[in-house]
A and B are shown apart, each in its own frame.
Chain A
């Protein structure tokens, strides 16, 4: 049961990482990166590492996307 869950999550994480690379449009890519962060956090939980889960959630799903979104907003403003 646990193994099936772990394998499913590993496949999902691989698919998520591929999607982050393949999506090229700025904001959509950032949103996908955030979803990928959540997937990775759930994966860590399934591998019994709750501390790493919390770190991955706050960094991968929250902090990094916020910084990227603000940077995109700045770059876009300059292009206009």
Chain B
């Protein structure tokens, strides 16, 4: 195919795309006009039904909890996929985590990076726990909290060494924690069935005060398990990539 033909095909396809895009835009509801009934319906009943003032979390972990189970397992499978793809292959071998040139150590981390990483580790852990455990009260949730918790481990890697990171998050332990997080969600759902209720039905006491940390029953519990699962999955993915970068080399 000559470049000239290729350009024509692109122009025709591009014009078609623009036409369809404009056609689609012309049918959109006006800016800020929400036409559906569900948003208003759920806003009216959510707080009274669940005692959770974080209505987005109430939707995620209660009204559409079944979808969220699926989403959580997407991450679970992704972490498993990364671990499978990045495993040590035949013809690759692990070397100690030092610079490749013989007799040369790893360039030392600058003290500025160390200081910032150390300063941030504590607050990041606090923020992560807070987000993962306050899904029922305000905008937050296990997913965001989990990633933040995992970030704390990456800060430890930045402030210290690869080996400290590995000692603090051994792969076996991370695997187990991830499985407990993902399994906990499913087990909460199955516990409802064991009590003769529908899957993932909120079976715990909802508490007296809407928006209290102890309110909302299973919503808070599920968010907590999601936080654990996400943190472990992300640590696992980053650890696999660090292994690839620092330890595994091609050639025997």
- The interface residues of chain A, by DSSP majority, are classed as helix
Contact A67 B238 (CB under 8 A): yes
Contact A55 B144 (CB under 8 A): yes
Total number of A-B contacts with CB less than 8 angstroms?
A: 46
Q: Give every chain A residue within 8 A of B242 (Cβ-Cβ).
A: 70
How many angstroms between the C-alpha atoms of A51 and B244 in the bound complex?
34
Which residues 30-80 of A have a CB within 8 angstroms of B? 50-51, 53-55, 57-59, 62-63, 66-67, 70-71, 73-74, 77-78, 80
Which residue of the partner chain A has the closest CB to B82?
A: A67
Contact A71 B147 (CB under 8 A): no
Which residues 226-251 of B have a CB within 8 angstroms of A? 234, 237-238, 241-242, 244-245, 250
Among A51, A57, A59, the most chain B Cβ lie within 10 Å of the Cβ of: A51
A7 CB to closest chain B CB (Å) equals 11
Give which listed residue, A59, A62, A74, contacts B241 with CB less than 8 A. Answer: A74
Which residue of the partner chain A has the closest CB to B86?
A: A74
Contact A54 B238 (CB under 8 A): no
How many angstroms between the C-alpha atoms of A63 and B241 in the bound complex?
13
Tier of interface size on chain A: 10 to 19
Contact B241 A58 (CB under 8 A): no
Which residue of the partner chain B has the closest CB to A80?
A: B100
B56 at the interface (CB under 8 A from A): yes
Contact A67 B237 (CB under 8 A): yes
How many angstroms between the C-alpha atoms of A66 and B100 in the bound complex?
23
In the complex, identify which listed stretch (B7-15, B21-29, B135-143, B185-193) lies at the interface while the others stay far away.
B135-143
Q: Give every chain B residue within 8 A of A50 (Cβ-Cβ).
A: 139
Contact B147 A77 (CB under 8 A): no
**Chain B positions near chain A (C-beta within 8 angstroms):** 54, 56-57, 100, 131, 139-141, 143-144, 147-148, 151, 154, 234, 237-238, 241-242, 244-245, 250
